[in-house]
């Protein structure tokens, strides 16, 4: 899918910035869980409706159907509770959208869903969760949590408290007022992405209207995905035209709440957009791979200065560095980054530089080489671009100069994780070998158009150090789709 629409391009830029500034949030509706097997509400309530002589296929107000059943059973909602348990305790697989969202550093999730798919996706990523199911949960904060999940309508673990009937909605602000207050705060302070949400929820509409009245034209912009009405979805032309008009009116109405609709042709496009968000976010983080026991024609002084100046340029450009402290040049990568970071008091080192040296010995159960591989995977999985320079070592047995097989592995891991490689071939050794590999099959390794000429410059030994560094930064900015800062 080509993400070319103006609206989607704006969303990518805005939401990526919100993620970087820890101001991004997600609001998940039933549509997020539906591909996993949840939830067809009409089917869920079919037996409930039949018991009170209603045809569920003719009903659009399912909240009313649930309320009618409770009314006809003397206020007893036991059967509805059981239907929820049966539906939400059956097996369901986490979707790709769940996985992408869980990988992103988003710390606030709101949902009207009762299932635990968001929680499971976050747990798989090793994140600590603070679930807010009842109002009492809001008064307690789980220490060192990575994400808060607000279950606005309850959770399957407490089906008798799930918000489902008209009574539940009408009494919402009496029983769950703190959720309303918390959501208002997040809608004011965060950029919210609505996924799988129909905007028919009366609670949310009330909250949005309060914020609109209070803030007027100063509301924060939010976004939502919506499948564009298409002719193939309808038997009759008249039905299609009616649905098209209704969707247009809905899109315009959401603008009152500063919610911009992102229309997609098919639901799979949402996954493609989320993947692009992830890639663009990750491309701010650069993995720098470099080692040298022999400095070749460059000489030690030039190599060390180059590593330091490259590191400074990366930090100056607004990117973050992840590195494994390679032999020879690794120390200069770190010192160059630190020197630049310390120029600005507002920057925290841990936000801009992650240095993870490799252990040289182990007495544990995992062999050292296997431990190195795990270490490399862990470092590279959250970066979007990998830079390679120099790359050689001395064989411990023969004393001969050999290529850095660790750098080769880092290149392969980078490609497997979807990181774009930027090998500086002019620095020779393993970096040159990787550069030749990339150039020989360029479209495979660099899917972005118009960059091959710049990659060719990185292999030109006649380029000055400054020119090579500038070319690297230009490539990084083109991959991030931003102008040089």
Q: Which residues are catalytic?
A: 153
- Cβ neighbours for 453, distance < 8 A, ≥ 6 positions apart: none
User: What's the rounded Cα separation, in Å, for the pair 327 and 392?
Assistant: 9
Judged by DSSP in three states, 263 sits in strand
> Do 287 and 410 contact (CB within 8 A), yes or no?
yes
Q: CA 435, CA 443: separation in Å to the nearest integer? A: 13
Helix axes 202-215, 177-189, angle to 10 degrees: 50
- Alpha helices, H only, 221-289: 237-254, 268-282
| Rounded CA separation 94/114 (Å) | 14
Residues paired with residue 291 on neighbouring β-strands, in sequence order: 390
Q: Are 278 and 311 in contact (CB under 8 A)?
A: no
- Contact criterion met (CB below 8 Å) for 391 and 424: no
Q: Is 323 helix (H, G, I), strand (E, B) or coil?
A: strand
Q: Quick check: 315 and 307 in contact, CB under 8 A?
A: no
- Which residue shows structure tokens 């348990």? 85
- Cα separation of the two ends of the chain: 29
Instruction: Work out the number of other CB atoms within 10 angstroms of the CB of residue 393.
Output: 22
Contact by Cβ (8 Å): 417, 381: yes
Q: Tokens representing 10?
A: 């704006």
Residue 153 contacts residue 112 (beta carbons within 8 Å) = yes
Query: CA nearest 322: which of 363, 284, 272?
Result: 284
Separation between Cα atoms, residue 207 and residue 182, nearest integer Å: 10
Distance CA 59, CA 69 (A): 14
């Amino acid at each position: 899918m080509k993400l070319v629409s103006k609206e989607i391009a704006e969303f990518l830029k805005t939401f990526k910035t919100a993620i970087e500034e820890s101001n991004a949030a997600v609001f998940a509706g039933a549509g997020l869980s539906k591909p996993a097997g949840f939830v067809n509400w009409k089917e869920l309530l079919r037996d409930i409706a039949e018991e009170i002589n209603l045809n569920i296929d003719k009903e659009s107000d399912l909240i009313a159907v649930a309320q009618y059943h409770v009314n006809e059973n003397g206020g007893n909602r036991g059967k509805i509770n059981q239907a929820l348990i049966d539906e939400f305790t059956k097996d369901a697989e986490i979707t790709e959208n769940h996985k992408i969202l869980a990988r992103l550093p988003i710390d606030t999730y709101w949902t009207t869903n009762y299932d635990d798919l968001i929680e499971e996706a976050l747990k798989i990523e090793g994140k600590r969760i603070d679930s807010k199911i009842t109002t009492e949960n809001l008064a307690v904060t789980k220490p060192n949590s990575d994400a808060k999940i607000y279950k606005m309508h309850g959770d399957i673990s407490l089906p008798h408290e799930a918000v489902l009937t008209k009574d539940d909605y009408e009494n919402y602000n009496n029983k769950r007022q703190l959720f309303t207050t918390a959501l208002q705060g997040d809608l004011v302070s965060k950029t919210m992405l609505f996924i799988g949400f129909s905007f028919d929820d009366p609670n949310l509409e009330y909250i949005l209207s309060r914020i609109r009245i209070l803030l007027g034209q100063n509301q924060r912009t939010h976004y939502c995905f919506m499948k564009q009405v298409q002719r193939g979805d309808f038997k009759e032309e008249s039905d299609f035209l009616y649905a098209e008009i209704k969707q247009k009116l809905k899109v315009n109405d959401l603008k009152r709440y500063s919610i911009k609709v992102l229309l997609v042709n098919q639901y799979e496009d949402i996954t493609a957009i989320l993947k692009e968000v992830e890639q663009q976010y990750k491309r701010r983080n650069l993995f720098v791979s470099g080692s040298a026991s022999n400095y070749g024609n460059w000489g030690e002084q030039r190599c060390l200065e180059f590593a330091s100046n490259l590191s400074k340029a990366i930090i100056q450009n607004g990117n973050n560095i992840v590195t494994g402290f390679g032999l020879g040049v690794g120390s200069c990568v770190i010192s160059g980054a630190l020197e630049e970071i310390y120029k600005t008091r507002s920057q925290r080192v841990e936000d801009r530089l992650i240095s993870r040296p490799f252990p040289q010995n182990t007495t544990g159960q995992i062999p050292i080489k296997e431990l190195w591989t795990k270490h490399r995977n862990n470092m590279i999985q959250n970066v979007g671009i990998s830079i390679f320079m120099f790359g050689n070592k001395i064989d411990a047995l023969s004393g001969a100069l050999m290529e850095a097989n660790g750098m080769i592995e880092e290149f392969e891991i980078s490609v497997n994780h979807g990181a774009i490689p930027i090998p500086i071939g002019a620095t020779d050794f393993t970096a040159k070998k990787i550069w030749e590999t990339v150039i020989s099959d360029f479209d495979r390794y660099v899917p972005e158009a118009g960059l091959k000429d710049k990659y060719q410059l990185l292999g030109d030994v006649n380029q000055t150090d400054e020119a090579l560094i500038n070319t690297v930064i230009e490539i990084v900015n083109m991959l991030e789709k931003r102008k040089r800062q």
